[in-house]
Structure 1
Amino acid sequence: MTFEHTDTDRAARLDRRGLMKLTAGGVAIAAATSLGRNAEAQTQTPAAGWDKVFPRSEKVDHRKVTFKNRYGLMLSGDLYLPKTRGDGRLAAIAVGGPFGAVKEQSSGLYAQTMAERGFATLAFDGSFTGESSGEPRNIASPDINTEDFSAAVDFLGLQPMVDRERIGVIGICGWGGMALNAVAVDKRVKAVVASTMYDMTRVMAKGYNDSVPLEQRTKTLEQLSRQRWEDAAKGTPAYQPPYNDLKGGEAQFMVDYHDYYRTKRGYHPRAVNSGNSWTQTTPLSFMNMPILTYIKEIAPRPVLFVHGEKAHSRYFAETAYAAAAEPKELMIIPGASHVDLYDKTDVIPFDKLASFFDRHLVA
């Protein structure tokens, strides 16, 4: 189901003080919700016990796992299995996102909830973040993070309880775009869901609603290019300054991010968005490598877009939906914001997600 725009000039309603200013001091990271201070001291020690921001389900078995991606980076994940699963092999789902989050947050909630519905699921930390390996810390890449999804599919397909011919993917927020990119090239995946998605390459290259002119983009690239010399001379990267120490007057979506990442609702010390930050030069590859170029090649496998009616990011899903080939579906959740689809279990359409994968993850 879809809804018409309630305000065609949505960009004008976004407080420009809260929007990304594509300069060296704010290079697209505010748009990506990379919030916080220098990340060099971020811990990589696995936490003992239950370290998630959501309650543990008694219907699901859980264990921490590790696996390597194609670049040799060791990824850390949480494998969730339904306690009642019989003797047959299970359909499986790899879950990633949001951009700047960790598996103990939204992706873990999605994974555990889908395991309650009978799927083997894997929530994982992207390379260079959370408990996954990679130096320097807190750097992102449209290529490597796309590869991380395929590495998760590698892992799932090697598990004895999983039917490797019945694997799907869920990408949340900025990892929704990564999921679409991964599934376009990885023909093992049978179905994909992009929930409250961002196209990180688009927003970093062009700003919100494609509002950044070429002159400003060029200036940003000049500044970032010279930042590389400074980083090389010091032998360590510079990090972005804090973004969500709210001072008043921010756009509502920035307030929403703060409410999730910086309060006990969703705070996790390993998350980039929970008081840490990306490197200053993280946007370089994103600004140069559009990830949805081959979205049509997901077909004939199905794609489901889920987005909030009131989300500032809704246009990402709508334009990606328009560019995708059939079979495709766009589900707009009435009244929902972008962040509502991170953790509000009465808003996230888990029954729809389960029926979508039940229908399409068939041998």
Structure 2
Amino acid sequence: MNLFNNRRRFLGASMAAASGVAVAGTGLIASAQASAAQPGGNVKEPAVIGYPNTKGVQIERVTYPARNMGTSIIANVFKPAGFDQRKTYAAIVVTHPFGGVKEQTAGLYAMHLAEQGFVTLAYDASYQGESGGEPRLMEVPAQRLDDISCAIDFLAQQAYVDAARIGSLGICAGGSYAMGNAQTELRVKAIATVSMFNLGDARRNAMGLLSYEERIKRLKDASEQRSKEARGEPVRLVPVVPESAAEFTDKTPDLYRQGHEYYVTARAKHPNSPNRYAFSSLPLQMAFFPFDQVETISPRPILMIAGELADTKFWSDEVLAKAQEPKELFVVKGATHMDMYDKPQFVVPATAKLTSFYRQYL
């Protein structure tokens, strides 16, 4: 019963976050647009927050098209120490969480895997970070799926990448995007997730725990906001996680308490990750069903990594039950959802497992 109650509080809080308080967005939008306009070239430091590059990984800042948008995606490519342009390497696309950017946990996992001999790519999603797309800070699942394919487009053009050995890794909501993309993106040969978060389920009816009337009310509010923006009114931005610890209650789940610590404090705060998203994109999120055809990924392998104490682990369990072989759930003892983002005692075993997985299947 306690597990059910915790899951109910978690899903309810997820829905509440989706309909958060409006904030003045003009400054954030202008800042994001300025970042997106910057060309590729030298890597901005730090390429990975809180993890110095001491093992000789080469990092290259690249720009490539978001094919269906006519805009550009900015990414960091990580190449292993001793990289040889004449050789070919297995490559891994790393997709960041909802609200994140490439310099945070996606970059950290990309760095660790590059240390193990893979070419990896961590990018900013369309509408976010340094990548293009307006209105700023939109969360558009369909485009997020294609962003992964755009990264594969880039990698497949590089002479040093073996196009038959490309893998996908997604963290948090990036995990549900990696899972959704792989169902139709057959260039992906192996799929892994860390702390998978089903954004569509969290934004809809919370697995039946959100009433139909409440769901429709939120859709109505978001649709009306989109009409306002179409008429030229400011974009309404709402928080991804609580902006202040003062907002916590006894019902705030660990994911959001720890999410605040990760995104809003010095632990991983980044100027291109302002803890906001465009509320008018909520209906697009509700329309996202990333697990619907997960069984079609087989015979390509799936690895899911989740913390033992994560209040989101049930989503990895759901995929494990539905997916066909080969599949595996690797549980990291003592870890919560957010612990898996950057805490060394949990990231190190996760990286070791990812390394053996990709070496086996790529």
TM over 0.5: yes
Q: 1:36: Cα distance to partner?
A: 7.9
Residue correspondences, number: 344
After superposition, residues 160-179 of structure 1 pair within 5 angstroms as: 160-179=159-178
1:52 aligns with 2:54: no
Match of 2:30 in 1: 41
The 2-side partners of 1:253 and 1:270 are apart by 21
Residues 36, 244 of structure 1: 8 Å contact kept = no
Matched-pair contact (CA < 8 Å) for 2:12–2:210: no
Q: Give, as a single letter, the amino acid of the residue that structure 2 aligns with 1:52.
A: V
Q: 2:5 matched to which residue of 1? A: 12
Q: Aligned in 2, Cα 1:314/1:227: closer, same or farther, shift over 3 Å?
A: same
Q: Which runs of 5+ in 1 are unaligned?
A: 1-7
Q: Assess if the C-alpha contact under 8 Å between 1:308 and 1:332 holds in 2.
A: yes
Equivalent-residue separation in structure 1 for 2:57 and 2:24 (angstroms): 35
Q: How has the CA–CA distance of structure 1 residues 218 and 91 changed in structure 2, closer, same or farther, with 3 Å as cutoff?
A: same
Distance 1:262 1:21, change over 3 A: closer
Q: Could you say if the C-alpha distance between residues 169 and 21 of structure 1 is closer, same or farther in structure 2, counting changes exceeding 3 Å? A: closer
Whether the 8 Å CA contact 1:73–1:133 is kept in 2: the answer is yes
1:1-363 pair list within 5 angstroms? 9-13=2-6, 16=9, 19-20=12-13, 22=15, 26-27=17-18, 38=25, 39-43=28-32, 44-45=34-35, 48-58=44-54, 59-71=56-68, 72-86=70-84, 87-207=86-206, 210-240=208-238, 243-247=242-246, 248-249=248-249, 250-273=252-275, 277-348=276-347, 349-361=350-362
More helix by share: 2
Specify which structure has the bigger relative contact order, considering alpha-carbon pairs within 8 angstroms and separated by 6 or more residues.
1
2:357 counterpart letter in structure 1:
F
The 3 A distance-change label for structure 1 pair 28 and 314 is farther
TM-score, normalised by the number of residues in structure 1: 0.88
Pair 171,48 (structure 1): closer, same or farther in 2 beyond 3 Å: closer
Corresponding position of 1:5:
none
Q: Separation in 1 of the partners of 2:14 and 2:172? A: 20
- Which has the higher mean CA deviation after the structures are superposed, 260-269 or 100-109? 260-269
Give the drift of 1:262: 1.4
Moved more, 248-257 or 164-173: 248-257
Shift of 1:174: 0.2
For 1:3, the equivalent position in structure 2 comes to: none
Per-residue CA distance 1:251-307 (angstroms, 9 max, x = gap)? 33221111111121111110143xxx1111111112123122111111110000000
- Is contact 1:244–1:254 with CA below 8 Å preserved after alignment? no
Distance 1:22 1:114, change over 3 A: closer
Deviation string, structure 1 residues 56-79 (Cα, Å, up to 9, x no partner): 323200011011122123111000
How much is the aligned-residue C-alpha RMSD, in angstroms? 2.3
1:89 and 1:161 in contact (8 A); partners too: yes
The alpha carbon displacement at 1:216 in A equals 1.1
**How far did 1:213 drift?**
1.5
CA drift at 1:164: 0.6
Compared CA separation, residues 267 and 18, structure 1 to 2 (3 A): farther
Q: Distance in 2 between matches of 1:82 and 1:36?
A: 42
Percentage of identical aligned residues: 31
Q: Distance in 2 between matches of 1:272 and 1:181?
A: 26
CA 1:196/1:331 → structure 2, altered by over 3 Å: closer, same or farther? same
